[in-house]
């Protein structure tokens, strides 16, 4: 109970560090601890103490538990070695949560959010459509999911085939999965739409397919016309 000597009431863990059955006390104390919005975990600064802290936090909730890092093994050792009140208060103030890796604060996105409100001149991330009447009205932002639905024969695949070469021109990478038509048939229609002719020459077909390769996520596929 050395934390009491520093002016902070504390609850002692009855079975020490470690995990598993060592932390069985939580079952009896869980309801009593429910009223606390912030819980500071000050177990020993060793492997057993880390194991205990990890398990206690997982049982009591990451959202309210904070791991205290001490300059000595435990609060009692700090007291014996003369660690002053100010240093112990700093340890409490700097206690870290055990949040999962990758969890971020809203302020981490300040720059990105600001650029959405105030983009640089001429900057508009994302992709448009090849249809002039939709200019400024329909824009696909990067990193978002868009679902196109409609009745069979409504023209969903045809519109997508029109958009694919346009998106490649705008710098997009494309992965196309056709579950109804074979790859060659899908590309046959796309070649006609991209080239704007019903029966393109063999050379024109090669040029169009090579252009479509620019949108591939795969490494370049080297071909030769020789």
User: Tell me: the pLDDT tens digits for 166-182?
Assistant: 999 888 888 888 787 88
Instruction: Please state the rounded mean pLDDT for residues 48-53.
Output: 91
User: Tell me: the pLDDT tens digits for 56-75?
Assistant: 998 999 889 999 999 999 99
Architecture of domain 2-97: 3-Layer(aba) Sandwich (3.40)
Q: What pLDDT does residue 98 have?
A: 79
Query: 141: which residues sit within 8 A by CB, 6+ positions away?
Result: 125, 126
Nearest to 16 by CA among 60, 73, 66: 73
In contact, 141 and 116? CB cutoff 8 Å: no
- Mind giving me the DSSP string for 19-67? SGGGGTTHHHHHHHHTT-S-EEE---SSHHHHHHHHHHHHHH-TTTEEE
pLDDT of 4 higher than 60? yes
In contact, 208 and 200? CB cutoff 8 Å: yes
- What single DSSP character describes residue 96? E
Q: Residue ranges per domain, the chain? A: 2-97, 118-213
Q: What pLDDT does residue 79 have?
A: 93
- What single DSSP character describes residue 124? -
Instruction: Report residue 213 as tokens.
Output: 């390769």
pTM: 0.50
Query: How big is the CA angle at 162 (ends 123 and 126), to the nearest 5 degrees?
Result: 20
Q: What pLDDT does residue 155 have?
A: 86
In this structure, of 140-144, 205-209, 214-218, the range with the lowest mean pLDDT score is 214-218
Q: What pLDDT does residue 75 have?
A: 93
Q: How confident is the model at residue 220 (pLDDT cuts 50, 70, 90)?
A: low
Nearest to 30 by CA among 64, 66, 67: 64
Query: How big is the CA angle at 182 (ends 180 and 187), to the nearest 5 degrees?
Result: 110
Q: What pLDDT does residue 1 have?
A: 57
pLDDT of 221 higher than 70? no
Count of residues making up the chain: 226
User: Tell me: the pLDDT tens digits for 8-41?
Assistant: 988 888 887 888 888 889 988 899 999 999 999 9
Instruction: Give whichever of 80-94, 97-111, 179-193, 209-223 has the largest mean pLDDT.
Output: 80-94
Q: How confident is the model at residue 6 (pLDDT cuts 50, 70, 90)?
A: very high
């Amino acid at each position: 109970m050395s934390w009491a000597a520093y002016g902070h009431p504390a609850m002692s863990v009855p079975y020490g560090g470690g995990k598993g059955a060592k932390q069985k006390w939580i079952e009896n104390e869980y309801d009593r601890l429910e009223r606390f919005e912030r819980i500071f975990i000050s177990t020993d600064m060793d492997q057993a103490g880390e194991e205990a802290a990890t398990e206690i936090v997982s049982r009591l909730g990451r959202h309210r538990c904070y791991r205290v890092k001490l300059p000595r093994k435990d609060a009692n050792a700090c007291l014996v070695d003369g660690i002053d009140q100010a240093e112990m208060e700093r340890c409490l103030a700097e206690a870290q949560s055990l949040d999962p890796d990758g969890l971020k604060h809203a302020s981490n996105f300040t720059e990105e959010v600001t650029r959405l409100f105030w983009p640089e001149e001429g900057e508009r991330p994302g992709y448009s459509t090849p249809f002039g009447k939709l200019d400024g009205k329909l824009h696909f932002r990067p990193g978002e999911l868009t679902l196109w639905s409609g009745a069979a024969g409504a023209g969903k695949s045809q519109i997508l085939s029109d958009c694919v070469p346009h998106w490649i021109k705008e710098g997009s990478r494309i992965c196309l999965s056709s579950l109804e038509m074979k790859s060659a048939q899908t590309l046959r229609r796309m070649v006609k739409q991209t080239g704007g002719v019903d029966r393109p020459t063999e050379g024109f077909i090669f040029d169009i397919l090579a252009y479509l390769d620019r949108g591939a996520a795969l490494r370049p596929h080297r071909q030769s016309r020789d």
